[in-house]
Amino acid sequence: MNEIALTRVRYGFWRIFTLLRREGFKDNHKRIYRLYRQEGLNLRSKRHRRWRSEQHREKYAQANQINQCLSMDFVSDQLYNGQRFRALTIIDNYSRRTVFVHRIGQSLKGCDVVNTLESLYEHYGIKLERIMVDNGPEFVSKKLDKWAYERKVTLDFSRRGKPADNPFIESFNGSFRDECLNTNWFLSLHDARLKIASRRRDYNAFRLHSSLQGLTPEQAEYEMLNYKENSNLALSS
């Protein structure tokens, strides 16, 4: 059985069992399976699949400062008349601050994502290192790939079917839907932009986060900036 597993590395239990029967072994499948597990051969294929998926994804890097790593995704909802719209949500992974949630429209494409990120550079001076995204068509577009290459920004894609790879934006979108989209009646796209912008200000300035030890995102950023300033003063003195 070990010899077969070594030479036929992609063979599972039932194929190995069939080959053993062909070689004249009369043991039933229960005994063979027990030996198969004892030899650790059942873990062989599982490890192989996991390694194969992880080799296309870098190890998760924890953000340790503001604007070092952002997460972004799309959420969708509808107006009072059933007209659908989408919103691009972007948050800072360190402070949980909502960086942007104002790009709202019926049809948003990769160029809209690029324009939003470029505005963060031009108007807010935010220079990024990494952005965590899923495999949506807007995020795998050539325009976004070109922008990221020119700006030297790493696009960290989630594995397909693994939303937990991008936990911060998934958590934010859940609360965003519960506390804003599901509790408001949107009369137009302009009305949706106003109400969502109001919720963004409330989220950043007043909503407390258990992951931030009870601080708001703005308080967390303020604490970090003060800590850095005091550390620099201590080093200079």
**Section 141-165 average pLDDT:** 86
Specify whether 108 is located in the same domain as 188: yes
- More confident position, 90 or 55: 90
Specify whether 92 is located in the same domain as 23: no
Candidates 92, 77, 64; CA nearest to 192 is: 77
Number of domains making up the chain: 2
Inform me whether the pLDDT recorded for 22 exceeds 80: no
30-41: pLDDT as tens digits = 888 888 888 777
Distances (CA, A) of 201 to 57, 98, 161, 188, 225: 34, 8, 32, 20, 20
Contact 202, 193 (CB under 8 A): no
% pLDDT > 90, the chain: 18
Q: Please enumerate in sequence order all residues whose Cβ is within 8 A of that of 143, keeping only pairs 6 or more positions apart, or say none.
A: 110, 111, 114
Residue in this structure with the two tokens 């942007």, named with its chain if needed:
100
pLDDT of residue 58: 46
Specify whether 112 is located in the same domain as 175: yes
Domain assignment present for residue 236? The answer is no
For residue 70, give the H/E element and its range.
strand 69-78
Host domain of residue 15: 2-54
- More confident position, 194 or 37: 194
pLDDT of residue 175: 86
Q: Please enumerate in sequence order all residues whose Cβ is within 8 A of that of 75, keeping only pairs 6 or more positions apart, or say none.
A: 86, 87, 89, 173, 176, 177, 181
43-67: pLDDT as tens digits = 444 444 443 434 444 455 567 778 8
Specify whether 28 is located in the same domain as 122: no
pLDDT of residue 219: 87
